Amino acid sequence: MQLFSYPPQTDWPALQQRAAAQQAQDIDERVQQIFEDVRQRGDAALLDYAQRFDGADLSGGLRVSLDELTAAAAQVPAGLQAAIRQAYANILRFHEAQVPQPEQVETMPGVHCWRRAVPVQRVGLYIPGGTAPLFSTLLMLGVPARLAACPEVVLCTPPQRDGSVNPVILFTAQLLGITTIIKAGGAQAVAALTGGTASVPAVDKIFGPGNRYVTAAKQLATRYGVAIDMPAGPSEVLVIADASANPAFVAADLLSQAEHGPDSQVILLSDSLSLLEATQAEVTRQLQQLPRAEVAAQALQESRAILLRTPEEMLYFSNQYAPEHLILAVENPEQLAEGVTSAGSVFLGHLTPEAAGDYASGTNHTLPTNGYARNYSGVSLDSFLKKITFQRLSTEGLRQVGPVVELMAEAEGLRAHARAITLRLESLGRSIEQNPR
């Protein structure tokens, strides 16, 4: 990690810079080509991409059969099954508290307004496979989709070389009651969810992480009228640590993000030089013990350790950076947390690793990255719901609010709006004296 001591605030924007996306224009052009190919050739295009990118022969079909789904449980160790079930219970409990309660307001006598939550009708969940099949993300997306009672949930995930899907992903899908599972990955899966094919239902909203191609594909999907969970990029963490922090803990937290991918970013802020130095030594030591050491080492090349003067200054830096994950490894984390304004998810104290939120504490780990925590929230139950407003006017209500609307509509030059009120009031026998015009 690069070490910076007391950088002036004029240098902060450069220190807060994420790694620039490489060949962004080339990626966008390639994704556009994939979308057009899937639109024209449908399933045939998906089968070709599975062979080319995943090395998988899917001549047996793109959909996971019920037999495959049922057989998956036998391939998942009992201990892991129990862990997934516990994580499921915790995530469910946290998201159940987000179920909206009925609300009705009488804004004037006889004017009743209320709001009702309606599930997004068709949702697509994208779960990466490859070297790190993210069954934990399937829990994070599948639980709120189930709570929201979305009528149709379609899961896309890349096939393995033998044409199967990772059994842990299938076990988790079965736990969530998801049966429409498509063996497709990458931008082509997003393209299929966007426009539909013979095997893949088109959806209204797409959720889930992925590489730069998947991210570009999700952004392209919005041009076709399909919503997405949020803009996303490489995973990131910012740790604020004071002298009370344990360097070994801090180093482990930094590495847990760095091992996600070579473009992940970790930032450590401290007002203690000795803590920074000790943590760097721990990072070097622990890195050697990781199976994904090479990946983490690449990420650390773009990561920074920064010495600042006060907790307030560190918090100011963090709010500007707007991290996906923020760890407050300080003596009084609750006090510092009061000042957090931009972060995806916050972890308080020395015994609260970010990894807990990644898997099983209950909060959702699908979070805004790349500074989008300034204006986006992470995935929640609300992400799978639409809030529709309703209203009903009684005779008294129309007489109460009608004259207000007439005056305002006339002032805006919208005579038809005013007339929609006037005709109704006249049908109720409004006298000339009651007419505000």
Taking 70 as the threshold, does the pLDDT of residue 37 lie above it?
yes
Strand partners, 237: 266, 325
pLDDT at 26: 85
Q: Are residues 172 and 204 in the same domain?
A: yes
- Kindly list the catalytic residues: 324-325
pLDDT at 433: 46
Find the mean pLDDT for residues 41-53.
Answer: 97
CB 209 within 8 A of CB 230: no
pLDDT at 232: 80
Residues 6+ apart with CB under 8 A from 76: 84, 167, 168, 171
Domain boundary among 362, 378, 403: 362
pLDDT at 263: 87
Binding residues: 126, 188, 211, 235, 257, 260, 325, 358, 412, 417
Binding residues for Zn(2+): 257, 260, 358, 417
User: Which amino acid is located at 15 in the chain?
Assistant: L
For 170-215, how does the pLDDT look when each residue is reduced to its tens digit (9 = 90+)? 999 999 999 999 999 999 999 999 999 999 999 999 999 988 899 9
Q: Are residues 33 and 140 in the same domain?
A: yes
Q: Are residues 217 and 263 in the same domain?
A: no
pLDDT at 23: 54
Does some domain include residue 418? yes
Taking 90 as the threshold, does the pLDDT of residue 242 lie above it?
yes
For 350-387, how does the pLDDT look when each residue is reduced to its tens digit (9 = 90+)? 999 999 999 999 999 999 999 999 999 999 999 999 99
- Count of positions (residues) in the chain: 437
Domain boundary among 317, 341, 362: 362
User: Which amino acid is located at 219 in the chain?
Assistant: Q
pLDDT at 437: 44
Q: Are residues 188 and 274 in the same domain?
A: no
Q: What DSSP letter does each residue of 61-90 carry, written as one string?
A: -SBPPHHHHHHHGGGS-HHHHHHHHHHHHH
Q: Are residues 402 and 332 in the same domain?
A: no
Taking 60 as the threshold, does the pLDDT of residue 72 lie above it?
yes
* Residue 2: pLDDT band with limits 50, 70, 90: very high
pLDDT at 130: 65
Instruction: Work out whether strand 325-329 and strand 236-241 pair parallel, antiparallel, or are unpaired.
Output: parallel
Domain boundary among 230, 248, 265: 230
Taking 90 as the threshold, does the pLDDT of residue 85 lie above it?
yes
Does some domain include residue 138? yes
Does some domain include residue 386? no
pLDDT at 102: 86
What mean pLDDT is reported for the chain?
94
pLDDT at 18: 85
Check residue 127 and report its DSSP letter: -
Does some domain include residue 113? yes
Q: Are residues 312 and 403 in the same domain?
A: no
For 407-433, how does the pLDDT look when each residue is reduced to its tens digit (9 = 90+)? 999 999 999 999 999 999 999 986 444
Sign of the C-alpha dihedral computed for residues 12, 16, 251 and 239 taken in this order: positive
Does some domain include residue 182? yes
Question: Dihedral of the CA atoms 247, 248, 254, 258 (nearest 10)?
Answer: 140
Q: Which residue has the tokens 């002036």?
A: 8
Q: How many structural domains does the chain have?
A: 3
Binding residues for NAD(+): 126, 188, 211
Q: Write 65-73 long-range contacts (CB < 8 A, 24+).
A: 66/179, 68/164, 68/165, 68/170, 69/170, 69/173, 69/174, 69/179, 69/181, 70/174, 71/167, 72/165, 72/167, 72/168, 72/170, 72/171, 72/174, 73/167, 73/171, 73/174
Q: Are residues 54 and 172 in the same domain?
A: yes
Does some domain include residue 101? yes
For 86-129, how does the pLDDT look when each residue is reduced to its tens digit (9 = 90+)? 999 999 999 999 999 988 999 999 999 999 999 999 999 999 98
Q: Are residues 167 and 282 in the same domain?
A: no
Sign of the C-alpha dihedral computed for residues 407, 409, 413 and 417 taken in this order: negative
Find the mean pLDDT for residues 289-314.
Answer: 95
* Residue 231: pLDDT band with limits 50, 70, 90: confident
Q: Are residues 140 and 60 in the same domain?
A: yes
| 4: three-class secondary structure by DSSP | strand
Q: Are residues 405 and 329 in the same domain?
A: no
Taking 90 as the threshold, does the pLDDT of residue 338 lie above it?
yes
pLDDT at 436: 47
CATH number at 45 reads 3.40.50.1980
Binding residues for substrate: 235, 257, 260, 325, 358, 412, 417
Q: Are residues 166 and 217 in the same domain?
A: yes
Does some domain include residue 379? no
Rounded percentage of the chain residues whose pLDDT exceeds 70: 97
Q: Are residues 207 and 149 in the same domain?
A: yes
Structural domain of residue 170, as residue ranges?
A: 24-230
